[in-house]
Amino acid sequence: MELNCSSPKTIPVVSTFTANGSDSSSTRKPISLWPGMYHSPVTNALWEARSKIFERLLDPPKDAPPQSELLTKTPSQSQTTIFYNFSSDYILREQYRDPWNEVRMGMLLEDLDALAGTISVKHCSDDDSTTRPLLLVTAAVDKIVLKKPISVDIDLKIVGSVIWVGRSSIEIQLDVIQSLKEESDVSHSVALTANFIFVARDSKTGKAAAVNRLSPETEREKFLFEEAEARSKLRKKKRVDRRKLENGEVNQLEPLLAEGRIFCDMPALADRDSILLRDTRLENALICQPQQRNIHGRIFGGFLMHRAFELAFSTAYVFAGLVPCFLEVDHVDFLRPVDVGDFLRLTSCVLYTKLENPDQPLINVEVVAHVTRPEIRSSEVSNTFYFTFSVRPEAKATKNGFKIRNVVPATEEEARRILERMDAEMPQQNQ
């Protein structure tokens, strides 16, 4: 059957992305065709601004030598700001609006990762086109904390810079800033803070590679550097101390499992204010597509956080019966890369609740991402995410007799996950 594109019943489909004014005969690949432009307007804007650096990453010089000499840079040299003109750009506002007239948090997480990646590339670049660029990947998210709701009707900006550098790792701090007219104190304008950790690899050998040094100048930069140094030491200590629960700790499992056994063995006698952990589960599955890749050909870390957040939000919504209010993302480790074509399973559950404060009950949701390979009967964890939610005050007011239930484990494996999560929270709460 011959296709007739000139028929009046035929609607031609064209790309909504322009070539950014570049000549179609040019050998330069238009930025609009680079990987990542499908994620959000921010990714495209960032790549446009730093096009010369990113072109080297897309087409690195073959057999080029590594960077011969490390540079010393200041935090101000890597500082980058992105601006959302929500107040006057209706289309941009609609792209980021959630049903409650706030910014879609999943999209913002994606943007944060994109900005952190740009800043890490900026810091590690030696501006020498004859050397091969480093491969920079998201190793972890230390923490993301929401300090106040983020409106989609008010202009927004994200400011980020490198605050700490190790031998092959970099920590980037990002502040999401949204100012109200009545707020004169700049600190009150910070709506969200995030800390991302990137590691550098040699793009040819895949081994850890040294990165440019950092020289903090101002008192605040020095303070942030010292804080990040302390966090790095704490992470190393946790890795060294990490081991299986010992006999004394095993005793902590018994109280957690007691109620779960009643649910399993004597359900008619179980506490009606509690629910089994496994009964809060939700699951999602997807094939990772080329449009979700980053400049290194792997699946964009921000995309994974975006999908994990939306599943966690849905889990908290179904569990509480009311619209959740996002509070924070706890530490995230990116354990293994996710490739284009991978079959990704996301499994979520409410891990535990904290009900000491009736005005702000806390719901901790765990999302585990598995890279599954059915052809070889393999399944590996790529990421584990922990999100904390509460319930919107206006939502509680609409439901009489509102109450969140306790979550109880039914197996030792579930009980251990709860204990490990609570233990991981304790040092952070004491800081």
Q: Is the pLDDT of residue 20 over 50?
A: no
CATH number at residue 328: 3.10.129.10
Q: Is 395 exposed, middle or buried (0-12, 13-18, 19+ CB in 10 A)?
A: middle
Q: Are residues 260 and 172 in the same domain?
A: no
Residue 8 has, within 13 A of its CA and on its CB side, a CA count of 0
Number of domains, the chain: 2
Between 300 and 350, where is the model more confident?
350
Q: Which pTM value belongs to this model? A: 0.83
Q: Are residues 225 and 358 in the same domain?
A: no
CA distance 418 to 386: 11
Q: Are residues 218 and 296 in the same domain?
A: no
Q: Are residues 219 and 259 in the same domain?
A: no
Q: Are residues 217 and 266 in the same domain?
A: no
Per-position b or e across 327-350, b if 16+ CB within 10 A of its CB: bbbbbbbbeebbeeebebebbbbb
Residue 310 lies inside a defined structural domain of this protein: yes
CA distance 96 to 153: 10
Beta bridge pairs of residue 364? 352, 388
User: Where are any strands of DSSP class E within 240-291?
Assistant: 274-276, 282-287
Q: Are residues 295 and 149 in the same domain?
A: no
Q: Are residues 189 and 97 in the same domain?
A: yes
**Which residue range is the domain that position 345 belongs to?**
252-425
Residue 430 lies inside a defined structural domain of this protein: no
Residue 23 lies inside a defined structural domain of this protein: no
Domain termination residue (choose one: 239, 262, 297): 239
Tens of pLDDT, residue by residue over 63-108, are 777 777 888 999 999 899 989 999 988 888 998 999 989 999 999 9
Q: Are residues 197 and 340 in the same domain?
A: no
Least confident of 99-103, 267-271, 274-278, 345-349: 267-271
Give the pair of three-digit tokens for residue 195: 């800390």
Residue 116 lies inside a defined structural domain of this protein: yes
Residue 229 lies inside a defined structural domain of this protein: yes
Domain termination residue (choose one: 181, 215, 239): 239
**What pLDDT was estimated at residue 19?**
45
Domain termination residue (choose one: 212, 239, 266): 239
What are residue 10's phi and psi, to 5 degrees? -95, 125
**What pLDDT was estimated at residue 47?**
63
Q: Are residues 203 and 256 in the same domain?
A: no
Grade residue 22 by pLDDT with cuts at 50, 70 and 90. very low
Q: Are residues 223 and 292 in the same domain?
A: no
What DSSP assignment string belongs to 288-333? PPGGGB-TTSBBPHHHHHHHHHHHHHHHHHHHHSS-EEEEEE--EE
Least confident of 50-54, 72-76, 233-237, 349-353: 50-54
Beta bridge pairs of residue 386? 366
Residue 392 lies inside a defined structural domain of this protein: yes
Tens of pLDDT, residue by residue over 274-317, are 889 999 999 999 998 887 777 677 888 888 999 999 999 999 99
For residues 391-402, give the mean pLDDT. Answer: 68
Residue 28 lies inside a defined structural domain of this protein: no
Residue 130 lies inside a defined structural domain of this protein: yes
CB count, 10 Å around CB of 8? 6
Q: Are residues 56 and 98 in the same domain?
A: yes
What is residue 38's DSSP assignment? T
Q: Are residues 227 and 310 in the same domain?
A: no
Between 430 and 312, where is the model more confident?
312
**What pLDDT was estimated at residue 431?**
41
